[in-house]
Chain A
Amino acid sequence: MSIKVNVQNLNFYYGDFQALKGINMEIHENKITALIGPSGCGKSTFIKTLNRMYELIDGTKATGSISFDGTELLDKATDVVDLRKRIGMVFQKPNPFPKSITENVLYGVKRHGDVPKTEWKELLETSLRKASLWSEVEHKLNQSAFSLSGGQQQRLCIARTLATKPEVLLMDEPTSALDPIATAKIEELLEELKKEYTVIIVTHSMQQAARISDYCGFFLSGELIEFGLTKQLFSNPLDQRTEDYITGRFG
């Protein structure tokens, strides 16, 4: 089993506030890693360090090491545009561009110019199929993405990310804005996706983490309290605080 991303002693600051304290985590390839914890515990901040999205916010700083396939990801010399292509991200709320469905999916390849035009059509279809959206939109590919339902929009955002051929998928509470049926669809989809991608998902729902993930990390006040196989973490937690959280005593 190979390690795709290796996080060592990661600290993160918003100005003077330290949001992450000495995080160590090994993220396994082709597995789903779920991150749980109460609001403000640092789990969303953590995944934003993995594609350096935090750089969009003024006054943020990360120290420590994140090794991605042997490359130091926090190194300023690492090209962030290339990095974000390889580590894709899906957000809490669906955020399609105000463009057609086709334009949304092909946005990445059009910018990066690494796929010949003749293959765009095929890429469009495979990306939408992988996001299990194809059958619902194949007859209206030129319509605005805004004409889709929330759940469809979120799957479109997944398709858009898959079209840039990432190796890792970061998902920041991707189902929190969706109804149970749309949520079930996305969870089903994640099962499929992990065959090809390494998935890291932040979730508010412990049930969701237990259902879909292979590995699970519990964050509290910027610290990673416990990290391990999901089965073990939920059945036999090592830390009292983890047990308190998963049994619903707080959070």
Chain B
Amino acid sequence: MTARKRHQQTEVLVRWILIGLSAVSILTTIGIVLTLAYETFEFFSIVSIVEFFTSHRWAPVFDPPSFGVLPLVAGTMMIAVLSGLISIPLGLGSAIYLSEFASKKARKIIKPILELLAGIPSIVYGFFALTFITPLIRSVAPDTQIYNALSASIAVGIMTLPMVASLSEDAMMAVPDSIRQGAYALGSTKLEVAIHVIVPAAFSGIAASFMLAISRAIGETMIVAIAAGQTPNLSLNPFQSIQTMTGFMVNMALGDIQQGSIEFKTVFVVGALLFVITLILNLIARIIIQKTREVY
């Protein structure tokens, strides 16, 4: 066999191996979607879809059971919004400081510290919320329940802050220096350059970081399971115990439920809904990025 022919055969073999490797993740995704879809379909053959989306009570293991998912969605959204109120302004502020104001030396020290925050396991944040943030909130507002949405939201916000800061900073640093100089040469202060030139120019990347932070908050499980409580509650009161979609799922998974039972199927139907919500958010993020992206 000639060397040339051997090379060609190796090439073909490598190609098939690589296709096989990428197929693993694609097949897994398809498998997950199919499982979710199957169990969801089964669930809706027993419980009406109207009840699922309109009933205000979520009590799948009670007798009689009630399958209104709204309290869980409300809990998840409350965590997403409140944590966003922390991670977005603080993260963007840090990014503006790091990219436009900080000296090279300060950036070298601060950025790794910020990224260290992202490496802390979420269970640590959960206990931090329960043992530090909650007592702090209760010392200001004594009526706050031990398990409450606010404490968990603050912890989720702190956890997602580095993501917003780091990605936004990357986007702002990617704005060419020539544009920055143009703005300074017209007589702008640092703050004006940051707010009127750099942030708008980097908007697509910044918006993407916001969306990722919100998505991450929606999917966050450990912190909310530990600190937010297990009470499905259709309320906007952040001082109360709530339950999120992920919180419910982890609660059920830890409990003693029979495979194939209706309680078992609720885990999948809530999971499917979570999947759809995150998918929609990611699609919105993609559209924003495509519409606002600047090419230099």
Contacts and interface: CB of A to CB of B under 8 A. Distances in A.
Contacts of B179: 95, 97-98
Interface stretch (B23-31, B81-89, B182-190): B182-190
Nearest to B202: A98
Interface string B187-229: 1110010001100110000000000000000000000000000
Contacts of B189: 81
Which secondary structure dominates where chain B touches chain A? helix
| Range class of the A interface residue count | 20 to 34
A32 B274 CA distance: 67
A112 B189 CA distance: 10
B93 interface: no
A194 interface: no
A229 interface: no
Q: What range describes how many residues of B lie at the interface? A: 20 to 34
A108 interface: yes
Contacts of A88: 185-186
B108 to A, nearest CB: 13
Contacts of B11: none
Contact of A95 (B103, B178, B196): B178
Interface string A81-105: 1111100110101011111000000
A108 B186 contact: yes
Contacts of B188: 81, 111
B7 interface: no
Contacts of A95: 176, 178-179, 181-182
A146 interface: yes
A161 interface: yes
Interface string B71-105: 00000000000000000000000000000000110
A53 B200 contact: no
A58 interface: yes
B115 interface: no
Give the secondary structure class of A's interface: helix
B185 A97 contact: no
B294 A164 contact: no
B182 A97 contact: yes
A111 to B, nearest CB: 5
Contact of B178 (A84, A85, A91): A91
Contact of B187 (A81, A93, A146): A81
- Top-3 shortest CB links A-B: A85-B187, A84-B187, A89-B185
21 contacts: A51-B185, A56-B180, A58-B104, A82-B187, A84-B185, A85-B186, A91-B178, A91-B181, A93-B178, A95-B182, A97-B182, A107-B183, A107-B197, A111-B186, A111-B192, A111-B196, A146-B295, A157-B182, A160-B182, A160-B186, A164-B187
